[in-house]
Every structure is written in structure tokens, then in C-alpha cells.
Structure 1
Amino acid sequence: MKIRRILATAVAVAVTTPAVLLSVTPAFADTAPTAQTQAKPTLEELEKAAAEAQEAYDKALAAKTAAYQVVEDAMSDTAPLTVAANDAKKAADDAGAAKTAADQAVTNAKAALDALPETATKEERTAAETAVTGAEAIAATAAADKTAADTKAEEARDAADDARVAALRAYSVTQKALTEAKDAKTAADDALAKAREEEENENQDCVAEPGLTTVLTGVPDSITAGTTTSLSLRVSNRTGKTLEAVTAHAFTHATDKSGLKETDKLLHLQWSTASSPKWHSIGGDHLINGIGPLKNGAHADIKLRLTIDASAPAGNGAAFVSADYTNENGSCGGNPDIAMYDFGVDKAAKPKPGKTDSGTTGSGTGTGTTGTTGSGTTGTTRTSGGSGPSAQGTASSNPVTTGGSLASTGSSSATPQLALASGAAVALGAAAMFTVRRRRTGTQV
């Protein structure tokens, strides 16, 4: 009997579990040690910070508006200091004109004195000399008045210019303050918007995404205990969109022939990728973190190797693979169909007397169609349809489809397969949890 047909009934709930779990609040979170984690601002704190930033921005805008009006007033022709400067300049101009006239009067008086004929009387000469002296006195006074007027005009002009410069400097300060207030407001608004979006996304349901597929190849009909089998997992994105963080999951389940004893602990699964070539053991979380972003139409290949301890009893086993994703905007999903690949577990062959395990080769031939794996001695894998040993220390991995069946164990009872199906149901139910969005908490170290 095909184990998948048994699973159709035995794990009906487990198969539908992903669709149910996709609609619940996320249960998994990546957390950092408490001692290294700073408290994340609450939504209320961010709302308060945004309100304070808005108030500061409004004040800065009002200050800039007022400062601009001061600049306008300082630049106006009707500004008091500007009017005073203009008046002082006019007074200086008038004083300059008066000095010019006085200087001309001195020149004229001296010319008149010089023009007196030799026949001029003493009274005429004295009058001319007196005119020169009087003109020079007036010119001296006009010169002093002009100097004083020029000084006042310069001081008034400097005062008006200083007022304009001060107004412009004050306006520049308010411009800078407004820019800083706007930046602070934008940062506070963005932080609040992001927090609200995260809060919405935390309550957002993950979606079933059948376009994210997983295919496992290289699974033989049976695997001999004490050997390692190479497998290949391909994760493909046919969702029509780029997935920013894709994670694969893989795990195995096995029982002895009776189906009453689980032997999961004797099976060890490891993964490796081109970007992370070192072999990594797959732990109880069943995670494979070597994928990352995956564009639409792209795929990622992951090498797997399954090692079964030599102490494992003969029985039945199965491998399960799935994948899910999360995006920066909080959207998430996964394929609710968890692919299962079944295989038989053959007991490790005992070495012949007088020979060590590493030096023993098998000589029997396998049975069945070409491509299935027969049993051989420890450390040796044989393919059916031929005779003689194959390369020692390796295991053949003939690809099978997701519809593959368990190799015949020789048991006349369906109990072992039912037991494996029951265990697989538990495994499927656990794996389904990984299609739920894993919430990532914002931490700072």
C-alpha cells in the first residue's frame, strides 16, 4: 500500500493545518538576549514624539515668518533707520553745497582784493580785505558743518546697513532651525508610520503561496544503515513576484519494522549551498537559512546529505521539505503542501569474518528495476541489475518523484506503515507551523 494513500486519511488535519495557521497571529519571534536589547518605543511614545515634533515645527515656521517680516521692514525705504540715513545724507549734501558756496565766496573776495587798482583808496582796500576775512570765516564754518554732517550721514547709513544685516542673519538662523525642525518632524512621522505599519503587519495573516515550490531529488527506495546518501533540494519561485527572505525546511522521520519504535534520532540531515559551502546540521527547528531573496522565476539549489547510524534497525522512513518567505513590508506566506519522500531503511550488513568494515565489499546483486538501490555491505551501495562492488564509502541517490512509495519491508501487516503515517502526521503538523510568519522583533545591540 502506498504510504501517501494512508496519509490521505491519517494526516488530513495535518495537511490542512497550514491554511488554518496562516490566519492566526504569528507565534515565532527572533529574539536577542535581554541584556543586550534596548526597549523599543511604544506606539504611544512615538505618537507623543510626533506631536512634539509637529509643535516644534510650527513654532519654527512662525519664527521664520516673523524674521522674514523683519527683513522686509529693514529693507523698506520707510524703515526708521533708512529714513534717518536718507535725512542725514541730505543734510550732508546741503552742508557740502554750503561749503562749496563759501569756498567760492573766499575765491571771489580774494579776486576782488587782487583786482583793486593802485589808485584804490585805503578804505576800499580795507573793505576788500575785510570781505576776504569774512568769507574765509564763513568757509571754515561751512567746512566744519560739512564734516559733522558727513559723519552723521555715515553713522546713519551704517546703522541702517547693520539693521539689514542683523535681520538677514536672524532670518538665516530661523531658516536653519526650520529645516532641522522639519527633519525632526519627518523622522518622527516616519517612525510613527513605520510603527503603525508594523503593528498592522503583525496582525496581518500570512497567505498560502503554492507558487513557492520545493522538489527533493536523489531519494532512493531504500537506504542502508551506516551510510550517507546525497540529496538535492530545489526551491523555485513561481509566485509572480520577488520574495525577499526565503527559508526552506527539511526533516526526516523513521520507525522500525513494527512501526512502534521511532528512530528519528538515528537519522542526521545536513545542508550546504554555493554561498555557504560548509555542511550545516539541521536541528530541531528544521531550518535551512542559505537561500535569502529569490526573484520571480528563479530557483535555489541546496545540497543535502542524510546519514543513518549503523545501529538503526530495518524499517521505514520519510523525508519532508517545504518553504516559506517574509518580506520587509511584513507580508509573508508559504506553500501549504509539504512534500513527502518515503524510503526503506535496511539494517547494516555484518562484515564477513576476518575482514574489517572498511575493507569489505558486497558481491550480491540487487533485484528490481534499474535505478533502485539494493542492499550491500557496510560502506558500499549497490544498484540493481549488476554485480560486483561499487565505489566504497558512497551512497547512490536515484531520483524519485513526490509520488514515490516505501520500499517493501517484507512485512505482511500494514501496521508499520500506519505507524509511520501517524508519526508523519505529527511531523507534518509541526512543519506546518513554519509556514506561519516568523515575527522579527526590532532590536539594537
Structure 2
Amino acid sequence: MKIRRALATAVAAAVTAPVMLLSVTPAFADTKPVAQTENKSSKPTIKELEAAAAEAQKAYDQAVLAKADALLVLKETLDALDTTHPLAVAAAAAEQAAKDAATAKTTADQAVTAAKAALEALTEEATEKEKADAEAAVAAAEATAATAATAKTAADTKAAEADEARDDARVAAARAYGVFGKAVDDALAAKIAADAALAQAKKEAEEEEEGEDCEPEQGLTAEVTGLPTKLVAGTTTAFSIRVTNGSDRQMDEIVAYTGVHATDKSGLNDTGKFFRLQWSSESSPKWKNVEHDYIDAVGALKPGARTDLKMRLTLDKATPAGNGVAFIAADFYNEDGSCGGTPGADMYEFDVKAAGSKPGKAEDAKPKPKPSTTTGSGGNGSGHQPQGSTSGTPASNGSLAATGSSSATTSIALAGGAAVLLGAAAVFVVRRRKTGSDA
């Protein structure tokens, strides 16, 4: 039995982008229910994908230029806020006024001290007028000092307010520039998605062969247990995958799909090279590396039967902190030519901690719920795809085992230095043919 690896390529391309748009063009997203698409192809043409890729490239180039212009504006604004900007002028004036007020207060305080010293220096022979004049001098000096103190407090307040206003302007300028940076990230993500979809379509057009479509099989499931939501670089984590044939049909050959992908905190850099995924089973206890995200030696399953795969995921000590996802699915192939698979891939999210980190208590990762493919009620009540999920919207029957066209869109967006997934979404448009495909 021969198998194409289209899903692995699509998912790997998708998870390396920080924000993958669900649709570069309307042709990329088929929101019709499976029942409406089984006998109708919604696959975009290569010409349409080329046009989408060209538009995505143009949008990205424009975003890069806009960001460069915005950087110049930011530098000019920051320079002006240190020199000629009205806020800079106001801050300088307020600072000078505060210095002048401080000097005046110091002079007034010294006058009080001198007046008091003169009063104390009077002898018993001093006349009443001399005493009265000295006391009046002290009172006048103290009044002047009080006024100077009040003026200094007011000047200090104005200086602080002027500095704060200038600092606020600096922050506002930086935030304005950040908008252009995000626009570049979004445009790059869209470009990556468009280029990947075009490349995949061209590849599959070259490999297109005649054959009957495989079928989605709801009874075939692949469930993960023991995969924690936090992994630490330099450690090995053991978990398992249980593949169950809950249908009433014999499945002669089962293939498990186990795609593990990760990025650093920026969301831009693929860190998969630091991961090593291995498997073993009761019939094949020796640990083996997972090749091309597939395990081809699961074996056959009778109706109602199940089998467990032992998995271990090792992270190199050099693995950067970031975020990861594991995509789990299964396909089956029968000697009579029938084939099929799970209707979609379950996605499990996890955080990657730097070597030596204390992850604390970590729960087992749970598969993200698959969204409704309609625009009516269901799922989250809106019919829209929730963040952090995968969905199958097949061009033909939707089986992961079908061959033909494939594209995947996923998002791993990060919130600053906190390893929190703001959103992850994947759209699989997969159609594999069961005859004449690659091994």
C-alpha cells in the first residue's frame, strides 16, 4: 500500500508562521458542511493560487516599506522629543523654572537664618526699636521663605508633569511603530500561507493520478494520553497514543500520523530540529524514530479492536523556550482497495520551558475541540472556528488518507515574553487518492 505525506508538509509549513490567516483569498476557506462538499470540488486552481501568492507578496513588500518609513518617523520623533519638540521645550523650561525656584528657596532660607542670628546677637543695651526691627526682619524673611517653598513645590510639580507628558509621547510613538511591525508579521504569515498552498498545489498537480477517493471514518480514533502541557528542554517525556477501530469494518493496515512542531517565543523561528520523537509497541518493542511524521507499523485492527503506541519526546538542552503543538490522526488501507481515516487531526498544545526550568504541576494536554463548519449555532455558539483547533473541510471526502490537494493553515501567536498561546487554528483541505501514490 502506498501513501502520500501531504498533510505533514502542510502542517509543518503552517506552524512556522506566527499568525497564519485562515484565508488568503476566499478560495482558501470552504465553510460548507462535509455533506455538501463530498461530491463537489472546491479546490482553488493553480492560477487562482498564483494570483493570491502575488497579492500576498505585494502586500508584504508594502508592509515592509511602511515599517521602514515608520521607523524613520519614530527616530525623528524621539530625537525631537529630546530637543525641539514642543513637549521637549516645555520640559526644559519647567526644569529650569524648578531649578530657579530651588535657588530662590535656598536664598530665602539663608535670609531667615541670618535674620535670626542678628536678632540673637542683640545685647541688653539694644533699644526697643532695634529689637522690634530685628524681629520684623525675621518675620519678613520667614514669609519670603514660605513663599519660595510654595513656589518650588509648584515648579517641581510642573517639571514632573512635563517630563511625564514627554515620556507618554515616547511610549505613544513606540506603540504607533509597533502597529507597523505587527502588520509586517501578518503580511508575512499570509505570504507564507499563500506560497505554501501554491507550492503544494503544483506538486500535487504533477502527482495527480486517477483513483477512487478515500472516505472519512468516524469510528477510527487516535487519542493521546500522558502528554503534559509543559515540557522542559533537556528532558524526555513519555506518553501514548491509542488507536481504536470503533467501526464495524476490518482495517487491514493502520497508519498513525504524529506531527510535532514548535516555535520559539517570537513565533517566527521553527525549533523542530531540537525535538526527537520515538515510538514502540507491544509487537515492536524496540524504540524507533518517527519518520516523516508517520508510523507505518501499527498493523491491522478488527472491528472494535484497539492498539497502543508508546511514545517518547526528547527535547535537546538547547531547545529555546516557546510553544508547540502535536497533531494526531490515523489512516487505514484495506487489501480490497478501500481506505479512509480520521476526518481531521486532533491538536494538542504545550509550552516549552528553557533547560533547568521548574515547570510546576502540568496537566495532560487535551485535544482542541473541532469547530462547526456551518455558520449557524453550535460549538462556541457563533459557528466561527475557535482559536486553538483543527478542522477538516475536505475538497472531496475529507479523509486524511485521501490523496490529491492539501493545504493547512495554523496560528501560534505569542503574547510577549509569556509563553501563552493567544490563538492556534488549522484548516486541512486534504484529498488523497488510494491508487498510484508514493510509498
TM-score by length of 1: 0.40
State the structure with more CA Rg: 1
User: Normalized per residue, which structure has more helix?
Assistant: 1
TM-score by length of 2: 0.41
